[in-house]
Structure 1
C-alpha cells in the first residue's frame, strides 16, 4: 500500500481530532466560564489535561468506530474512502464552528464514514449504525435532559433553606470538579473515535495489523485533541454558556454532572454518543427548573435542527470528496 496515502489520511484524522478539540472544548467548560467558576485560560488548561487523561480509559468506543459501522474497505480506494470521510467531517466542523453552532463532531464523522462508504461501494453495517449511532443520538440527549432536570430539582430542594449567595459560591467551587468530570468524559468518548479511524487506516494499509490500538495512536490522538481543546472554541462557548439560558453555578454543576454520568454509562456499552448533544440537553433540563420560559427555545430549536442535518450533510460532503480524490488514490 502507498505509504504516502496512509500518512496523508492519518494527518487528516489528526487534524479532525484537533478541530474536534476546539469545536467541542465548550462542552466541558462553557458553563464554568459563564458562571465565573473558572477563568477561561484555567478552564481550557484543565479541559485539555482531562481530555488527555480520558483518552486512555478503555477502547470500546474506538473499536465500534473502526469495525462496527462500515465494512473494512480495501486497497487504495479504501484509503480514499477513509480520507473522504474525514474531509467531510472536518468541513462540517469548520462550518458549524464559524457559525457558532454546537453540532456534533461525532456525528459529522459517522456521517462522513457512511457517505464515503456508500459512494465507494463499501457495505454499511446498518444495524451497527442504528444501534450504536442513531438510537444513542436520540436517547442520550433525552437522558441528559431528564437527569439534568431531576438533579437540579434535587439541588433546589436540598438547598431550599440556604442563602442563595452562599449556595452559589459553594457551587462555583463544585463546578471545578464537575467540569473536570465532563472533560474526562469528553476525552473518553471523542478521542477514542479518532483512534478508531487511525486504526482503520492502519488495517487498510496492512490487514495483518489487526484492530488493536497501538500506544502511539492513543498518545498522538489524545495530544491533538488536547491541543485543539486548549485552542478554545469561543463562538460555541457563547452559545452554550449564554444564548440557551443564563446559567448560574448550581445549574452549571447539575448540567456538567449529569452529562458526565451519561458519557460514562454509554462508554461502558461502547456507544459513541455526542458530548455536544448531551451537555446541550442537560443545560436545557437544568435551566427548565427555573421556569420553562427561561430556556430560549428558539435557540434550542436551531441547535436541534443542526443535530438532525449533521449526519446527512457530512455524508454528502464526504461522498463528493470521494469522487474528487478517488483518482489520486486509485
Structure 2
C-alpha cells in the first residue's frame, strides 16, 4: 500500500472521528431543553435525538459539504504534503473538541474545524491557499471563509431574536391557557426535538463529509469533488454514535445554567433553533448547533424576564467561543510542527 493511500485511509478515519466528536459535543444542545423541561427522560431523549440525527445527513443533501470542501485549496502542493496539512488541521479541531467536552464547555465544532484548517494552511502553505471569499466581484454570492464566518456570526443572532419572537407569540397565544396545557407542550416537544436533531444531522455531519471528499480528491481516489453515498452513511453513523455516547456534562450547563427552562421555553428554543439550522443547511452554510441553541434559549429567557437569564454562564460560554478559532489553529499548527520535526529523524 502506498504512502498516499495510507494517508487517505488515515484521513477518512480522522474525519469520521471529527464527526464523532461533533456528535458528542452537540448531543447536549439537543437533549438539554427536552430533559430540563421534563418532556422526556434522558433515555427517551437520547434515542429520539440519535435516530433523527442519523436521518439528517441521509436525507439532507450535500450543500454544506460543498462549502466545507472548498474554503481551503492545497491541491497544487502534492499528495503527501497536502494530505499532511489537512490531517493536521483535522487533528487540531478534534483535540480541541475533546478538551472542551472534557471540561464541560459547549463550543462550536464548526469554529474548531475552520480554525484548525485555516491556521495550519496559512503556516504550511501560505494565506494564498485559503479561499477567503471577501472579494466583491461576485456580487452577493459569498463563498469560502467569508460564507462560513458570515453564517457562524449571523446564525446565533437569528437564533436569539427568533427564540424571543416565538416566545412572545406563544405567550400571547396561550395567555388564557390552564396549567394543564404544559402536558400538551411537553408532548409537542417530541416533534420539535426531532426537528432539531434532524437539522443538526443535516448541517453538522456534512462538515466531515466535505473534508472526506476533499481528502479523496487530494489522494487521487476521486477525479473531482463529490460526496459518495458511503461517505454520507459513514458520517451519519459516526455523528450518531457520538450523540449516543456524549452529552451529560454539557446538558447541565445548557439546560440549567442559562435559564430556568419550562415546557414553553424549551418548545420555543427548539423550534427557533431548528428553523435557523435547516435554513442554513439549505443555503449550504455551516453553522454551530451549540451557538444557535444557546442563543435561542437566551432569547426566550430575555423576552420573558431578562434578569432571570444567568448572564454569568452566558458570558463564560461566549468566552470559549472567542478562543475556539485561535485555540484550534494553535493545536493544528503544533501537530503539523511535530510531524515536520519527526520527518527529520525518520
Fold match by TM threshold 0.5:
yes
CA deviation digits over 1:98-126, x for unaligned, max 9? Answer: 11111001110111110111121151111
1:188 matched to 2:191: no
Root-mean-square deviation (Å): 1.5
CA deviation digits over 1:78-108, x for unaligned, max 9? Answer: 1111111111011110111111111001110
1:58 matched to 2:61: yes
Give the corresponding residue for 2:283: 269
d(CA) in 2 for partners of 1:190 and 1:149? 24
Give the corresponding residue for 1:231: 245
For 1:258, which of 268, 272, 295 is the aligned residue?
Answer: 272
d(CA) in 1 for partners of 2:69 and 2:223? 13
Instruction: Check conservation: 1:22, 1:233, Cα contact below 8 A.
Output: yes
- Which residues of structure 1 form unaligned runs of 5+? none
After superposition, the Cα gap between the structure-2 partners of 1:329 and 1:41, relative to the gap in structure 1 and judged at 3 Å, is: farther
Structure 2 length-normalised TM? 0.92
Q: Secondary structure at the match of 1:100?
A: coil
For 1:106, which of 100, 103, 110 is the aligned residue?
Answer: 110
Give the corresponding residue for 1:35: 37
CA deviation digits over 1:135-161, x for unaligned, max 9? Answer: 122211110000000000001000001
Q: Secondary structure at the match of 1:101?
A: coil
Q: Which runs of 4+ in 1 moved over 2 A?
A: 68-74, 128-131, 326-330
After superposition, the Cα gap between the structure-2 partners of 1:234 and 1:70, relative to the gap in structure 1 and judged at 3 Å, is: farther
Equivalent pairs counted in the alignment come to 329
Instruction: Check conservation: 1:44, 1:232, Cα contact below 8 A.
Output: no
Instruction: Check conservation: 1:80, 1:326, Cα contact below 8 A.
Output: no
Structure 1 length-normalised TM? 0.96
For 1:81, which of 79, 85, 88 is the aligned residue?
Answer: 85
CA deviation digits over 1:291-319, x for unaligned, max 9? Answer: 10111001101111111211111011111
d(CA) in 1 for partners of 2:189 and 2:236? 24
Q: Secondary structure at the match of 1:289?
A: helix
1:148-297 → structure 2 map (5 Å cutoff): 148-163=163-178, 165-206=179-220, 208-297=222-311
Q: CA deviation at 1:27?
A: 1.5
Q: CA deviation at 1:289?
A: 2.3
